[in-house]
Amino acid sequence: MLTDESLVRSAKQGEAAAYAELVRRWSAPILAVCRARVRCRHAAEDLAQDTLLRGWESIRSLQDDRKIGAWLRGIAQRVCLDWLKRHQNQQVPFSVVGETAKAGDGFADDSISPAEQLFKRSEEERLQAEIDRLPEDERETLLLYATGDWTYQQLADLLDVAVGTINARLARARERICRHLRIVRETKS
């Protein structure tokens, strides 16, 4: 069975099929990273695609063949940062987009209370909006964790942090979401 490391070695030799396999393995985590950075589903797809194609173009610059995931994540962060800089003045808060906007199409708006913001949305949309309101590191960890059956250790290796940090981020993120959803429920009732 081919490991990421051996696929990277083959990809460095120009073997597109090997890189295709890496794309299949890493598309979901990279999409999650982009989604966490830009908080816009459609933009995240384009940015993840851009990231994976840039990965192919520069695969030979990867130093440690075992760390393709962390390396692609680094590219994704840069790609997203560029995009955010370009779109800094174009962000549209939810309150302007209106009630018909779907979660993830716009950006979370910090100017109104969570209860007001979430009141009229479906549970799924509320959850999406709550994820958007999380601090970026918690959001990224939570979205990454949801892409597969990661252990905390694997996620810690990918994000280059301690296992305890993963634990704390996931616990805090879920508690925040719980708390806000409870506020919404109580406000409604």
Partner 1 sequence: MNCEHSRNQISPWLDGELNDSESAALLQHLDQCPECREFVDELRGVNGLLRSGADQNLQQAHLLAERVITQLPPSVNRIEHAAPAPSRTREFLFLLAGLAAGFLCAWGLFSNDSGSNSSDDPTIASNETEANNADPKLNGTDSPIALPQAVARLVRVIGNVSVGSQVDVPLTRVSQANPVSCVAESVVQTGPDSRCELLLASGSVVRLNSGTRLLVRSPRQVEIHEGQLFCSAPEGTELNVVAVKIDDAMSKVPTFTCPSNGSMWTSNSPRGVQVSSASGEIAVQTSDSELKLKTGQSVEVIEGEIQPVSNVTADPLLATRWIHPLLIQKGAQDPELKSRVDAMLAKIGQSKLSSLYESEIRSLGEYCVLPLIRYLESPQSQTEPARRQTAARIIADLATTWAIGDLIVLLESEDGVVRERVAVALQRLTSENHGTSPEQWQESRPSETLELWKAWWSENLHHYPSLDELNQQEIKENTL
Among 3, 66, 81, 96, the residue binding partner 1 under the rule CB under 8 A is 3
Asked if 174 touches partner 1 (CB under 8 A), the answer is yes
Binding span for partner 1 by CB under 8 A among 23-31, 79-87, 88-96, 133-141:
23-31
Closest by CA position to 81, among listed 119, 123, 136: 136
Asked if 28 touches partner 1 (CB under 8 A), the answer is yes
Among 70, 76, 78, 148, the residue binding partner 1 under the rule CB under 8 A is 148
Single-letter residue type at 79: V
Bridge partners, 107 (sequence order): 93
Among 5, 135, 171, 187, the residue binding partner 1 under the rule CB under 8 A is 171
Distance of alpha carbon 141 from alpha carbon 35, whole angstroms: 11
Q: Alpha carbon 79 to chain centroid distance?
A: 13
Smallest distance from the beta carbon of 15 to partner 1, in angstroms? 6
Asked if 65 touches partner 1 (CB under 8 A), the answer is no
Distance of alpha carbon 130 from alpha carbon 180, whole angstroms: 8
Distance of alpha carbon 25 from alpha carbon 19, whole angstroms: 10
Residue 52's CB is within 10 A of a number of other CB atoms, namely: 19
DSSP 65-116: GGGHHHHHHHHHHHHHHHHHHHTGGG--BHHHH-TTSPTTTSB--TTS-HHH
Asked if 123 touches partner 1 (CB under 8 A), the answer is yes
Among 97, 127, 161, 183, the residue binding partner 1 under the rule CB under 8 A is 127
Binding span for partner 1 by CB under 8 A among 11-19, 71-79, 87-95, 107-115:
11-19
Asked if 150 touches partner 1 (CB under 8 A), the answer is yes
Residue 172's CB is within 10 A of a number of other CB atoms, namely: 16
Asked if 149 touches partner 1 (CB under 8 A), the answer is yes
What is the contact surface with partner 1 in residues (CB under 8 A)? Answer: 1-4, 6, 10-21, 23-25, 27-28, 31-32, 35, 41, 45, 48-49, 52-53, 56-57, 59-60, 123-124, 127-128, 142-143, 145-152, 154, 167, 170-171, 174-175, 177-178, 181-182
